[in-house]
Amino acid sequence: MTTTTAPLPSPLVLVVEDEPSIASILTAYLERDGLRARQTGDGPTALQLFHQLRPDLVLLDIHLPGVDGLDILRAIRDDGQTPVIMVTALADDVDKLLGLRLGADDYVVKPFSPPEVVARVRAVLRRAVPRPADKEQPPIRVGRIEIDHRAHEALCREPDGRTVPLPLTLTEFRLLACLAAQPRRCFSRSHLIEHCLPESDALDRVIDSHLSKLRRKLQQAGQGELIETVRGIGYRFLPGDAAVP
């Protein structure tokens, strides 16, 4: 007897938008593109649906009545690494970068083209899936850091031999892997954008924001200053034996 495997369900997007007309339009365009979508304009309900549905991506408005979208982003990041695209009506880089420091994967600014938002969603979903080339790479071990592409995790080795996982977002993981693969080499911001956020139109300041958070996580793990800023050029990774404590 021939058995068939049921097709995997299409990715589920949770749309959190307080303007019903915008939420309905986004939902319609996402579903037209073959994605599944649920919508809500209420912060507490959004968190309830997030925990209940476990969406593959959250499209999250920053300015929600009664609750700030950034607070919802913090709660999502406390729970895990579900991709989040922030939506804002303000073209203010402070709002954008604050969201990215908290772990957002991308942002869009109102007014926007719904097809563009769908394209952003597709791009972030693609980045959330480990690439075949990533899986084939051997683990990177430099200093007390180990980066395993197959398991898609970064570990810190403690002095007593224990290993502690680093809670990195997908973009942070890719940035760390890119820098650590060639210690002491200086990478330009444009190179890091091209290799770590290939489907994004990210600005240099967005890379700065992601690396700022990555640095803090490494410091909190007791790894010191492993990432050095090269003024006017970009960044480089210093092995643990050369890092500034």
| pLDDT for res 136 | 61
pLDDT bin (cut points 50, 70, 90) of residue 242 is very low
Of the candidates 165, 84, 76, which has an alpha carbon nearest to the alpha carbon of residue 120? Answer: 84
C-alpha–C-alpha distance, residues 184 and 228, integer Å: 9
pLDDT bin (cut points 50, 70, 90) of residue 6 is very low
Mean per-residue pLDDT, 155-169: 82
| pLDDT for res 17 | 94
The angle subtended at Cα 22 by Cα 16 and Cα 24, nearest 5°, is 80
The pTM of the full predicted model, rounded to 2 decimals, is 0.60
Domains of the chain: 12-128 (3.40.50.2300), 132-237 (1.10.10.10)
Mean per-residue pLDDT, 155-162: 80
Residue with tokens 């968190």: 47
| Residue 84 φ/ψ, nearest 5 degrees | -135, 130
The distance in angstroms from the start CA to the end CA of the chain is: 64
pLDDT bin (cut points 50, 70, 90) of residue 192 is confident
| pLDDT for res 3 | 45
Query: 165-186 pLDDT, tens per residue?
Result: 888 888 888 899 989 988 888 8
The fraction of the chain above a pLDDT of 70, given in percent, is: 83
| pLDDT for res 244 | 35
pLDDT bin (cut points 50, 70, 90) of residue 5 is very low
| pLDDT for res 99 | 59
| pLDDT for res 243 | 39
* Helices and strands in the chain, H and E counts: 9, 14
**Is residue 167 classed as helix, strand or coil in its secondary structure?**
coil
Instruction: Please say if the pLDDT value at position 46 is more than 60.
Output: yes
